[in-house]
Structure 1
Amino acid sequence: MKALIIDDEKHVRDAVRLLVDWTRFGVTSIHEAKDGEEGIELIKAHRPELIFTDMMMPNVDGAGVMEWAAQHAPASKLIVISGHDDFKLVRNAITYGSIDYILKPIEPAQLNAAISKATEELRLEEQEKNRSRTLAMELNRLKPMYVEQFFCSVLNEPGVHAVMSDAIRRELKLPSPVRNARVAVVSLELSSPVIRDKFAASGPDLMFFALTNICNEILAERGAGYAFRYWGKEQELVIVFWEEGEQAPDTLAAINAAIAATLKTRFVFGLSASAPFPASASLAYEEAKQALLRRNVLAPAADYVALDEAPAKPANTLLSFHEFEEQIRFAVQGGSRDHIERALHSWFAHIERSGFISFEQLTLWQSHFELSKTLWEYREAQAGGQEESEPHPSDEPRLRQTFRIPVTPEGRFDFEAWKSAVVEETKAVAGRIASRDKERGVIREIAKFLEQRASEDITLQDVANHFYLSREYISRKFKQEMKENISDYIAGIRMNRAKELLGNRGLKISQIAEQVGFQDEKYFSKVFKKWTGCTPNDYRKAHYGE
């Protein structure tokens, strides 16, 4: 904080310096002036927070200093120090907002009390300024969100907004109400790997921030419209063009050029015709969306497509996957990679002959393909008696997820990459099915191994060592395939063998117990009763007579 002492008497200036504990009040710099004229120059140069001034001085007096300060340095606090107890002078001091009118000789307590009051006022004013600045910053931060919320609600809730509010119009610097508008929309689901990689760490929020900034900078320069992230559709960016939107095609081209220069990729926008705004904004949005969905992704790149320019969707390609699904399924079940490629290439050739793929068809095929994969594996699991919910070690999370629609760095649909992805995913499904078939065969071999050695004291570790598999894997897969655990399976084999041996009356119960793997006759009888509901002797009598 800085202070300025204006007085034509040096001893008064010295007294003020000596009588105040400047450090206590946070004053680090003190300046002096011998008259009002010099004082004004120092105020201009240093902008002091505290100004002490005499009233009667040559050149410019105290009243002149206060009058000038009130106009040019209103934030400074004034304290009058005067040798004249004159009502006119006091009135002037009050008029210009002086904190106090101190008479000479100066009373230290009064001077320090005046400074304390002045610094407290400065502190409160600074606090209020900070609060106002914080509020202004918060309002500035919220304004775009408020505007964005308005546009999103226009699309989400048709009819809620009869007109654009004056507050929105002022924020967008529009001279007059908007009566009509065109809507453009772009889906980031078809964004290139370039932009996805660029914002992989920061996430979609920063990506949308960058894109809307690019769009709105160009739109503002041209007074053409406003771009925002459509929160109802997480992957969509929407532009509203004012009135008839004659500039829309050229503006979209400029936006794409700016995006390409900044982010090294391009987008295709769906564009609606002009419609009443905001009443029909949602209808215009749907029109732009349909144009985007129906565009031919195999066609040469363009900045935008309008609905009346989007080609009609050929029915023969819309349902083409269903026509080829059966032969693809047979190839998957057969497990031959060559057969899978041939079956899929028949479908691809059918698509290529049409020369047409819309984004709508592409997403429909994706969903049909994902459903078919699930059904193929489910049927095979059921045919093998496998529990549907049981995970498989060869299931890779990356492959089990729906793969993204591939896009070139230039923002175009990558048909070749899409075909390759479909082929590889189909082969992966066939591989998982074949792996399950192989595992079922291994489990059958383990079951056969147990049958041959049921009378031996065999453990799960013995089985694991013999087949070079982990105990956990064998235990889990055996129960999944055979519907019972290994110990119960062995016990069942032993009990069935014991039932057969009980028909031979020449064998004692102890001999039968030993032959089926029990060293203790009593324990054998206990287990036998648990399985059959009766003792070995009772079973022999009931089934083979006295």
Structure 2
Amino acid sequence: MKVLISDDEHHVIQAIRLLVPWEEFGIDQIYTASNGMEALDIITREVPEIVITDIVMEDKNGIDIMDFIATCHPSIKVIAVSGHNDFEYVRTMLTKGCMDYLLKPLESATLISTVGKAVQSWKDEHESNLRHRHLQEKVHSLSAFYSGVLLYKMLDSRCLETAYQELLQADASFSSVNTCKIIYYDTSYFPMHNPGFACLLKDYESQVRRSLGAEHGFILSNPDHPGETMFFLLGAGDITATFIIKTAQSFFMNTAYPFHLGVSREHPFPGRFSDSYTQAKNAFFCFYGDISSASTAIAALPSMEKLRFYPETEQLHQLEDQIFSSLLIGDRKEIEGTAADWMAQVLPVREIPLYLIHYVLGNIPRTAHTVDF
């Protein structure tokens, strides 16, 4: 903790420094000022927790200092000292928030007791502020989580209107949102088991979260699939998206960790919110390349072409039936053979887009999908 002793009498400053056992109160930095202007400069620069100031000085008096502290640094605890037993000074200082008013010559026990009270008062107030700030952050986090849940509900056209009305009740600021743009990624396809990558991704998300703020958007996680992450961008989405992409490149481009994003076009909100989500998700899964390679640390933008997931064929059905039969029989060689034939039908020979891997893993329904960008 820090303390400032301000007095135009040098011997008073020295006496206060010697009389108080500062270390016992956790005070390890002591500043001194011989006039009011110097005191204000130190307060501005160092923001001490405790200020002990004379009332009557040539350039600035204690009341001037008290006014400045009350306006700019109200958490500072002030102890006034004076050789003048003037009731008006006492009343004014106490009214402005001064902890106590001590008369010169100072008594050691009284001074020590007063400093102790000031330190304890600052600690109590500081802890209370921390608890209040923590509670505010918790409420904000819960509110953001609830908004995220409602946004995901809005992806279902049957729930769109109801969920949107609930969203407006939870956060009225959404009433001014007319457009949205989505940036998407799924950590299930990243090396989250690697502590280095997980830490880097956390730092990246923190950077984006700080940059977005409430004005430009926020980060959402799918309640039913924690790996799915969505940056919901509000207004000026193209500019914000460019920033997020460049930030991703600066974080991941020169590392051995793979990372890429899917970005949607900007659409009206809430009517085409689901289109933004679908486009961003499909853009992410449309990425081609070896996902274990560092060369994939780029942002993937959606092309203008139609994205088609692998359609079902009769041959695939037959191969799947053969796999099922081989599993029932328990013939390892037969299982490996039929599985290899199925994979050869589904996956191309060279570059494999993520949506085919997604399909193979069974995360995409066995139906043909066509999405227009």
The TM-score bracket by the shorter chain reads 0.5 to 0.7
CA RMSD of superposed structures (Å): 5.3
Equivalents in 2 of 1:60, 1:128: separation in Å?
33
1:180 is aligned to 179
Equivalents in 1 of 2:349, 2:150: separation in Å?
40
1:160 is aligned to 163
Answer yes or no: is the 8 Å Cα contact 2:309–2:356 preserved in 1. no
Answer yes or no: is the 8 Å Cα contact 2:20–2:111 preserved in 1. no
- For residues 88-487 of structure 1, what are the structure 2 equivalents within 5 Å? 89-97=86-94, 99-100=100-101, 102=103, 112-113=109-110, 116-117=113-114, 119-136=116-133, 139-140=136-137, 143=140, 146-156=143-153, 158=160, 159-162=162-165, 177-191=176-190, 195-199=191-195, 209-213=202-206, 215-216=208-209, 220=212, 225-243=217-235, 245-247=237-239, 250=242, 253-254=245-246, 256-258=248-250, 259-262=252-255, 264-269=257-262, 271=264, 274-277=267-270, 281-282=273-274, 284-286=276-278, 288-289=280-281, 295=286, 303-305=300-302, 309-311=306-308, 313-316=310-313, 320-325=315-320, 337=333, 343-351=338-346, 362-363=357-358, 365-367=360-362
Shift of the 355–272 alpha-carbon distance from structure 1 to 2, 3 Å rule, reads: farther
Answer yes or no: is the 8 Å Cα contact 2:180–2:273 preserved in 1. yes
Match of 2:53 among 51, 54, 60: 51
Shift of the 271–309 alpha-carbon distance from structure 1 to 2, 3 Å rule, reads: farther
Answer yes or no: is the 8 Å Cα contact 1:288–1:306 preserved in 2. no
Answer yes or no: is the 8 Å Cα contact 2:80–2:102 preserved in 1. no
Deviation of 1:179 (Å): 1.2
Equivalents in 2 of 1:216, 1:5: separation in Å?
43
1:81 is aligned to 83
Secondary structure of the 2:260 match is coil
Which residue identity is paired with 2:319?
Answer: F
Equivalents in 2 of 1:67, 1:197: separation in Å?
60
Shift of the 225–68 alpha-carbon distance from structure 1 to 2, 3 Å rule, reads: closer
1:417 is aligned to none
Answer yes or no: is the 8 Å Cα contact 2:287–2:354 preserved in 1. yes
2:370 is aligned to none
Equivalents in 1 of 2:360, 2:206: separation in Å?
34
Identity %: 10
Larger radius of gyration: 1
Answer yes or no: is the 8 Å Cα contact 2:3–2:30 preserved in 1. yes
Secondary structure of the 2:147 match is helix
5+ unaligned residues in a row in structure 2: which ranges? 71-75, 155-159, 364-373
Equivalents in 2 of 1:280, 1:130: separation in Å?
46
Secondary structure of the 1:304 match is coil
Greater strand percent: which structure?
Answer: 2
The reply on whether 1:60 has 2:36 as its aligned counterpart is no
Which residue identity is paired with 1:177?
Answer: S
Which residue identity is paired with 1:305?
Answer: P
Match of 1:22 among 17, 20, 40: 20
Which residue identity is paired with 2:149?
Answer: C
Which residue identity is paired with 1:323?
Answer: Q
Secondary structure of the 1:234 match is strand
Greater helix percent: which structure?
Answer: 1
Equivalents in 2 of 1:292, 1:2: separation in Å?
56
Shift of the 186–265 alpha-carbon distance from structure 1 to 2, 3 Å rule, reads: same
Shift of the 93–291 alpha-carbon distance from structure 1 to 2, 3 Å rule, reads: closer
Secondary structure of the 2:308 match is coil
Secondary structure of the 2:302 match is strand
Answer yes or no: is the 8 Å Cα contact 2:180–2:232 preserved in 1. yes
Shift of the 266–363 alpha-carbon distance from structure 1 to 2, 3 Å rule, reads: closer
- TM-score, structure 1 length as denominator? 0.45
Answer yes or no: is the 8 Å Cα contact 2:185–2:260 preserved in 1. yes
Equivalents in 2 of 1:198, 1:286: separation in Å?
29
Which residue identity is paired with 1:116?
Answer: S
Equivalents in 1 of 2:130, 2:352: separation in Å?
54
Secondary structure of the 1:96 match is helix
Equivalents in 1 of 2:342, 2:82: separation in Å?
95
Deviation of 1:240 (Å): 1.6
Equivalents in 2 of 1:261, 1:250: separation in Å?
19
Secondary structure of the 2:80 match is strand
Equivalents in 2 of 1:107, 1:215: separation in Å?
55
5+ unaligned residues in a row in structure 1: which ranges? 369-546
